[in-house]
Structure 1
């Protein structure tokens, strides 16, 4: 509201101050309510967002641990990282395996004829659109080739439409011109790419690199095949990615390899106390990070003068139930071994902060005699990791979870408070104008009365004073 000077020249009253005081008195109660609710809602929205981020990180860590059998104290290694890489998963068990890779799985590749004009060659010079049909494994995909389309534009259109189907295109250029090469992320026998349609691109195509083939390998001497170079079931609980054919023994080449086997590499799944301890420590740290985040938004701070300051979510019922759900699963007994709780492994809970700590001495003693029990506590459908995830599902679900709903409600509240603020501001502006007009009218009336009084007094004075000759 702009300042309006209405001080009366006749009355001498500071009517501007009176109007301001009256407007402020009218505005103060509602303004105080809006300010308080806005501050509270904004702080709570920020705090809920921080808790949600911490909970998402915690749940993500639980997922990763559930997929990684290192929480059970196992590690997977290979003696030749050039031939394969290995990743440990759930349900793995200790063991040693000999791997020989004789052939990698390959993908189908097909090339168009060479266009002397390069990638900018117009492949559809007609006035109407044509079509290029790409087929693989019983599925066909039609790509429209509009009038005036170049080889580059067709390539871009294929990649935009078919990448999610595993198909892609590229352009190879040399001194003779450019050709488009179609390939696929799908490998193995039966994944041949064929092209058809009426675009002209299907004419003069050629196979690049031969027909697609399966990976051929042996594990402990047993011949096996796979359409993919990623083996997820060859060894239970271990994912193997084949990256190269196994080398020949020293002094042997393709030319003299008749009857000679390629060199094997060793895949080892072994128990590691250090890995187990590191994994448990990782769980402790992840859990503590969530508890710390909740604590920071719910704590009560004691000030130097003895007063206390509450946080945005101090006493919040949602935070209490979330913590209770997590702690209930943490303290529940699990596993099939003789040791069924984390406390028996030296993982202790601080009663004042709720955080976990690891007693190195007790942990080392426990796993020295019961190393497999820790996996039973953490892993499986009824293990701690799965139960922690399940206990927080209702809070973390996107859009419909407790925290998401709270954030939505708080956001709506803040928007409503802004609407209330706008309405109040407009009402106070109207009130100031109304009061200003009333006091201006009063001043004008007083001015008129004062003028009339002055005229009357002048007349009376004239009548009372004798005329001089």
Structure 2
């Protein structure tokens, strides 16, 4: 804080009172001000460093989560491709084998859709109190229809149980204004047709009966009953109640899209694995480089490593990095492939980052046939023993809300706030001290002025007295 004193020269003493007071005040506050400034700079730097570290770890966690996705496996040893994606899509897991398959989709699996008799009053048609039971695949869901119900309120009543019954309802109104309650389901396959029984005659939908839309009292299935998917694999007939066929070919799952033919090819996923491994290496190296930048001292103008970084000397990032490195060398659950070095991934002893030897990786994929083991190394045989899960377990205590980094940041913020309070107290002390010294020096200056005036008066008196005697 700058001194509020405006430099001025005392009229009585001729002294530069402003400079004197400023020098005295600055000498008094110098040590404390230096301490506050250095500690504030350090706390601010550490808060920023903790924030940077948490951002890097969070990004690493996101990368690990994406690599460990169950719906889009990043480390699958095999890749399946369909020659006609508009007919079917294909994915493979690590139990697949290289091969090619000719697939002909004759028809897709369909779900049940049925309609009640029509109600001339439309959606607001009055429905008497009673009961309604909807049955699909031998599973029955019962409803009690209260008094003063309408076709719309019955629809809403059915939809309250969709999550458990698997059946949803809606209302379709034809050109005459008459409405039917239509039931549908996402369950596919032969035998999954919906039927209903009810004390309300118009809500009864019998089994194996087609709807005649021209007859108001008709109720039944719309178009056709639910069907299984029919396809051939290399000429062998296959049925499936679902449009996802996952058990027909070992290690291969097919999603049927439309009728037609396609060739599915399964091959070693060398390029895909290489990309995923490089993604893992890059994500890990980003964390290592961030920690290095936050902890490594830099050289001053003389070349000495004396300029501290935000977390130089802090044990927290060193402990974190040591824990992450431990996971890199901990053997995985596989017998053939248990460590990253077998895939050409090594640690640079100087920088601490990972390097990826693509030549060694290609050898592991071809001559050693380790492609099918990579997924197991990273994802494990349980939810905890894979490399990705172990890495995540190390990171979580640091990144979670209220975790190690949040606690450290909170502590540093408290320190910084305390320094702000100390600065305010020091500023008040400077103001008070400046005012007190200024008052004292001004009083001294006034006294000196008075003494000079008295001296001048006495000198003048004796001078005039001496002159009168000589005259």
User: After TM superposition, is the score higher than 0.5?
Assistant: yes
Indicate how the Cα distance of structure 1 residues 463 and 241 shifts in structure 2: closer, same or farther if over 3 A, else same: farther
CA distance in 2, matches of 1:352, 1:137: 67
**What does the per-residue CA deviation read over 1:238-271, in whole Å, with 9 as the maximum and x for residues that have no partner?**
89877x5x1xxxxxxxxxxxxxxx4355666653
Q: Tell me what 2:374 maps to.
A: 374
TM superposition shift of 1:42: 1.2
2:138 corresponds to: none
- Taking a change above 3 Å as real, the CA distance of residues 413 and 56 of structure 1, as seen in their structure-2 partners, is same
2:86 aligns with 82
Two-structure CA RMSD over aligned residues (Å): 3.8
Q: Equivalent residues in 2 for 1:335-350 (5 A)? A: 335-350=333-348
Task: List per-residue Cα deviations over 1:346-391 (Å, max 9, x = no partner).
Answer: 2111111111112222221122223223222112231111111112
Match of 1:22 among 18, 21, 24: 24
Unaligned runs of 5+ residues in structure 1 are 114-131, 141-183, 195-203, 247-261
Partner of 1:155: none
- How far is the alpha carbon of 1:18 from its aligned partner? 0.5
Aligned to 1:255: none
Q: CA separation in 1, counterparts of 2:288 and 2:317?
A: 10
Q: 1:467 to 1:14 in 2, by over 3 A?
A: same
- How far 1:57 sits from its partner (Å)? 1.0
8 Å contact from structure 2 (residues 76, 269) kept in 1: no
CA contact (8 A) 1:98 1:219 kept: no
Paired position in structure 2 for 1:59:
61
Match of 2:386 in 1: 383
2:156 aligned with 1:135: yes
Number of the residue aligned with 2:354: 356
Aligned counterparts of 1:266 and 1:393: Cα–Cα separation in 2: 44
Cα distance between partner residues in 1 of 2:265 and 2:445: 99
1:384-436 residue CA offsets vs partner (Å, 9 max, x unmatched):
11111112211111x22111211121222222222222221222122111211
Deviation at 1:49, TM superposition (A): 1.2
Q: Secondary structure at the match of 1:75?
A: strand
User: 2-side partners of 1:386 and 1:241: how far apart?
Assistant: 29
SS for the counterpart of 2:390 is helix
SS in 2 for 1:212: strand
1:285 alignment counterpart: 282
Match of 1:223 in 2: 240
Alpha-carbon offset, residue 24 of structure 1? 0.7
3-state SS in 1 of match to 2:229: strand
What does 1:381-460 correspond to in 2, within 5 Å? 381=382, 382-397=385-400, 399-460=401-462
Quote the Cα distance in structure 2 between the aligned partners of 1:48 and 1:234: 50
> In structure 1, the residue corresponding to 2:432 is in which secondary structure?
helix
Deviates more, 1:376-385 or 1:297-306: 297-306
More deviation, 404-413/8-17: 404-413
User: Could you tell me how far 1:53 is from its partner in structure 2?
Assistant: 0.9
How far, CA to CA, are the matches of 1:234 and 1:275 in structure 2? 24
State how far apart, in whole Å, the 1-side matches of 2:28 and 2:229 are: 87
TM-score norm. by structure 1 comes to 0.68
Three-state SS of the structure 1 residue aligned to 2:240 is: strand
Q: Structure 2 regions of 5+ residues with no counterpart?
A: 115-121, 124-151, 172-176, 190-227, 232-237
Deviations 1:113-139 (A, max 9, x none): 9xxxxxxxxxxxxxxxxxx98936553
Distance 1:4 1:107 in 2: 92
Match in the other structure for 1:192: 169
Residues 306/13 of structure 1: CA separation in 2 closer, same or farther (3 Å cut):
same
Partner Cα separation in structure 2 for residue 445 and residue 375 of structure 1: 92
SS in 2 for 1:375: helix
Between the aligned partners of 2:436 and 2:421, the Cα distance in structure 1 is 23
Question: Is the partner of 1:465 in helix, strand or coil?
Answer: helix
- SS of the counterpart of 1:72? coil
Q: Residues 206 and 268 of structure 1: is their aligned pair in 2 closer, same or farther, counting only changes over 3 Å?
A: farther
2:148 aligns to what? Answer: none
Three-state SS of the structure 2 residue aligned to 1:452 is: helix
Large movers: runs of 4+ above 4 Å: 83-88, 90-101, 103-108, 186-189, 204-208, 231-242, 264-270
